[in-house]
Amino acid sequence: MSVNVGILGGTGAVGQRFIQLLDGHPDFELVAITASDESAGKSYREAAKWRVDSPIPNWVGDIEVRATEPEAVPDDVDLLFSSLPSGVAEVVEPQFTEAGYVVSSNSSNSRMADDVPLVIPEVNGEHLDLLEVQQDERGWDGALVKNPNCSTITMVPTLAALDRFGLETVHVSTLQAVSGAGYDGVTSMEIIDNVIPHIGGEESKMETESRKLLGSFDGSEIEQHDVDVSASCNRVPTLDGHLENVWAETAEDIDTDDARDAFADAPTLDLPSAPDPLIEVFENPDRPQPRLDRTLGGGMQIAVGGLQETSGGLQYNCLAHNTIRGAAGASLLNGELLVREGWV
């Protein structure tokens, strides 16, 4: 039986990725799309300035966009995906969960809240159990789950694989695509022939979210991992795909063969959007590259290369598609896990 789903904030860049990924999904049927009051009442084709690299599905183009409020969403919607701006989501998402909806959200608000699971299914799917605490404390009939920031989600699956050697310190420098800033985020005059060595708030997201994701759930709260993460985040003139240079220091000695084995052992899941393998390791020192490798596994795979031993551990590069694995695809995978675990 298919699960009826909706999208909160479905006309923006991430909302469009949701629609692309939901087209033909084996378990989910898209029945509702919300957006701003300006777009409500229009057909999706009229409301959205479509910029994704495939046509609007014909069956979606005629859907009437709804207002972003619980009263406007049909009662038979089982699961909502949220790509709302964080300021809007902070107000609106609790309204939907109070009304009994389960929300899988890409929005950045509440990611670090004590009772909100921040989840990468292959890394810490057991953190969904925190939803019992959330519902008890907030009195919600619904539930709210978050996926991490696009740059965090590129790196953390690789760190989880290496944690068997005792992660102690991680340094990361990112080369982040312009699509991560949204269509209006970076002008052509700013980014062409240029690199912008600062992305507001990005470093702190990587540093804090990583520890929560790698932490453990003790039945009542998340005990964060004690790894020390420091990040430098940079905007570069690529369209899609975040490339990151990582230096990981471990308590135990590690060589490149150990790392390859650890990456190969990274778990995958029997879910429609889960890639297999989770991590693809390149032997060529000049890979991964955004243009060549961002769509591996339908854009859901993590690509790794450039493995080198250092005095304290390992140096490597990792890459993921920032609006698929790092945004819409991440929320979609969380939604699939919510269904499998009985929360939907």
Active site members: 150, 242
Tokens, residue 59: 């069956």
Alpha helices in the chain (DSSP H): 13-22, 44-47, 58-61, 86-98, 121-124, 130-138, 150-162, 188-191, 202-213, 256-264, 290-293, 329-340
Cα 180 to Cα 18, 100, 146: the distances in Å are 15, 31, 17
Determine the Cα–Cα distance for residues 180 and 182; give it in Å rounded to an integer: 6
Task: Report phi then psi at 160, rounded to 5.
Answer: -60, -40
Determine the Cα–Cα distance for residues 195 and 98; give it in Å rounded to an integer: 43
At 112, is the secondary structure helix, strand, or coil? coil
Tokens, residue 273: 């959007």
| Residues in a beta bridge with 28 | 3
